[in-house]
Amino acid sequence: MDLALKHPVALVPTMGALHAGHASLIEIARKFSPEVVVSIFVNPLQFENSNDFSTYPKSVDADIALATASGATKIWVPTFDEIYPNNPVLISSGEIGNLFEGVHRFGHFDGMLTVVKRFFDLVTPKHAIFGEKDFQQLFLIKNMVAQMKLPIEIISAPTIREASGLAMSSRNQKLSTTERESAAGIYNALNSAKATSDLGSARLELSKGVQAIPNFLLDYAEIIDADTFAIADDSTENCRAIVAGWINGIRLIDNMAMSNLGNPK
């Protein structure tokens, strides 16, 4: 498949339903290359729930307008057969892919890595930009690139938030006004943890904060070693709090660096 690209290319992979968070990724990509490819593909391999896949928000025309306005030079909307012309061979996300999100979304990360590798094969970018909101995803993509020795630099982009602090997500549009107000409690819990000075207090504040969120069904709230995804301890140099759960069937994830904790390098 010839995308007629002018290399070097910066790639921004998306599943569509674009928002200001995606726009920020595209704007970052422009700093690395004048040729910016935005892919829009809802990958069925990373959905553990067929209903979640079928109801995932879709707004291709609006997505193309936002991506173009943000600086994309190529908007690529491939079909399933273009991405998977043969039966796809899944890439294993390994032990880390079975932690946290992997516990609650079986097979999600294998499907995610499989499609990202296909994007890399087809676009051959020099740079690829991913947001820190999906921190475990970002971690696993970096691992895959390192292990396969792919000639691609993965660029981490900061989480973009709504005025309330809620991390921007395509799924947020499914939340009612009241549910959005509740969801903002995740950000408040993360900030409460960050305001402490030791790991025990941070875990306590994080737990209290998420438990106080109305109608929030918690999957996990933990402080990890961002370099290994192990549970953080007093020797950890790079602590990060991660949270995930549900409000009315809508999955919400967030994370925040805990620069107040650990033993920074």
What digits encode the pLDDT tens for the residues 131-164? 999 999 999 999 999 999 999 999 999 999 999 9
Indicate if the pLDDT at residue 70 is higher than 80. yes
Domain count, the chain: 2
User: If you average pLDDT over every residue of the chain, what do you get?
Assistant: 95
On whether residue 3 sits in a domain, the answer given is: no
CATH of the domain at 139: 3.40.50.620
CA–CA distance, 17 with 219 (Å, rounded to integer): 25
Give helix 108-123 / helix 135-148 axis angle, nearest 10°. 50
Integer Cα distance of 10 and 8 in angstroms: 7
- Does any domain span residue 174? yes
Task: Give me the catalytic one of 19, 22, 108, 127.
Answer: 22
- The candidate with the shortest Cα–Cα distance to 117, out of 141, 133, 147, is 141
Same structural domain for residues 111 and 233?
A: no
Task: Spell out the residues 6+ positions from residue 2 whose beta carbon is closer than 8 angstroms to its own.
Answer: none
Write down which residue in 102, 127, 157 finishes a domain.
157
Residue 224's SS3 state is strand
Same domain, 141 and 227: no
User: Any idea which residue has 């910066």 for tokens?
Assistant: 10
Q: Is the pLDDT of residue 13 over 70?
A: yes
Catalytic residue status for 7: no
CATH number of the domain where residue 181 is located: 3.30.1300.10
| Confidence bin at 258 (pLDDT 50/70/90) | very high
Question: In whole angstroms, what is the distance from residue 93 CA to residue 134 CA?
Answer: 15
Question: 229: domain range?
Answer: 170-256
Does 263 have pLDDT greater than 70?
no
Mark whether 115 and 192 lie in a shared domain: no
pLDDT tens per residue across span 203-251: 999 999 999 999 999 999 999 999 999 999 999 999 999 999 999 999 9
Q: What confidence tens digit (pLDDT) does each residue in 83-135 have?
A: 999 989 999 999 999 999 999 999 999 999 999 999 999 999 999 999 999 99
Q: Are residues 23 and 129 in the same domain?
A: yes
